[in-house]
Amino acid sequence: MQQLKAQYEEAGYFSPIPLIDRKKAASYLELLEAIEHKTGSLHYRSKIHTVLGMAHKLATNKQLLDSVEILLGPNILLYNATFIIKEPHSDAHVSWHQDLTYWGFNDVKQVAAWIALSDATEENGCMHMIPGSHKGGQLTHEATTDSSNVLHHGQTIQDVCEQESICVPLKAGEASMHHGWTMHASYPNKTDNRRIGLNLNYISTDMYQTQTKEDSAMLVRGIDNYKHFKVDTPASSVFNENAWHKQKAFDKLFHQVYDKMNRT
């Protein structure tokens, strides 16, 4: 665990963290795709831990929360959980960016975790990160109109020296963690298989949203003495249909904050 903190502080990320075995990851992947037959693609749907029981289980995995606690302390909120899915032979990609740029938080006490449900390889578009880039703080991002860019505004850091980046592959069931200012990107999926991961964002309980009073989060460890957020409810079943009908409101609010920050 000391190695985790040391590498995270120096490089701005840590990988890999084994969380679940391949058999369990495959069962979660099968369940996800079965639910997609009802809902359509679950790519980039906000607060999916309020809808899918297995997303909540992954987000509250003890080993993962132990790792987050080393970096954030004992009082932890789960701010968001969303699947990021790259279809086979898709042009979908994520440009060079820093996560915290448009989220509207007052501070940087945030950790992102990415759990692979299928192997994430260089060929199918795993993440690339630039070690130490978090030490420079926030950089200028430019909005783009690239329809293949997964990001809401296509926000991109220009003139990145990609030769400095490190490929961060993951096996199914493994996770990586990175800082909110760590520059990262991912490239298109050139394979015949879907690349599926669950992206999780954790924040310290003293963090708050500067752009709206309607934002929400879920306490997953410790005590929340601040109550800055409305409270998200974890999925109460494998697929919580009532929560699914409310999910679009989470997407709308998340995008409203993005839009406000993009104008500042």
Tokens 């909110």, residue located: 180
Res 172 pLDDT > 90: yes
Tokens 């954030």, residue located: 72
Provide the pLDDT for residue 102: 82
Domain range spanning residue 87? 2-263
Provide the pLDDT for residue 260: 65
Provide the pLDDT for residue 261: 63
Res 237 pLDDT > 90: yes
Tokens 């991002």, residue located: 141
Confidence class of residue 99 from pLDDT cuts 50, 70 and 90?
Answer: confident
Under 8 Å between Cβ of 54 and 32? yes
**Residue type for 131, please?**
P
d(CA 212, CA 253): 9
Cα–Cα distances in angstroms (integers) from residue 153 to residues 146, 147, 148, 149, 156, in the given order: 9, 10, 11, 8, 9
Provide the pLDDT for residue 137: 85
- CA atoms within 13 A of residue 243's CA, in its CB half-sphere: 19
d(CA 245, CA 139): 37
pLDDT by residue (tens digit) across 46-95? 999 999 999 999 999 999 999 999 999 999 999 999 999 999 999 888 88
Closest Cα partner for 133 from 98, 172, 170, 82? 98
Provide the pLDDT for residue 262: 64
Residue 77 structure tokens: 């909120």
Res 152 pLDDT > 80: no
CATH number of residue 126's parent domain: 2.60.120.620
Number of domains making up the chain: 1
- Per-residue pLDDT, averaged over 202-213, amounts to 96
Res 42 pLDDT > 70: yes
- Per-residue pLDDT, averaged over 176-198, amounts to 96
pLDDT by residue (tens digit) across 157-171? 788 888 899 999 999
Closest Cα partner for 12 from 129, 173, 155? 129
- Picking from 21-35, 84-98, 230-244, 245-259, which range would have the lowest pLDDT averaged per residue? 245-259
Average model confidence (pLDDT) across the chain: 93
In the chain, % of residues over pLDDT 70: 96
Confidence class of residue 141 from pLDDT cuts 50, 70 and 90?
Answer: confident
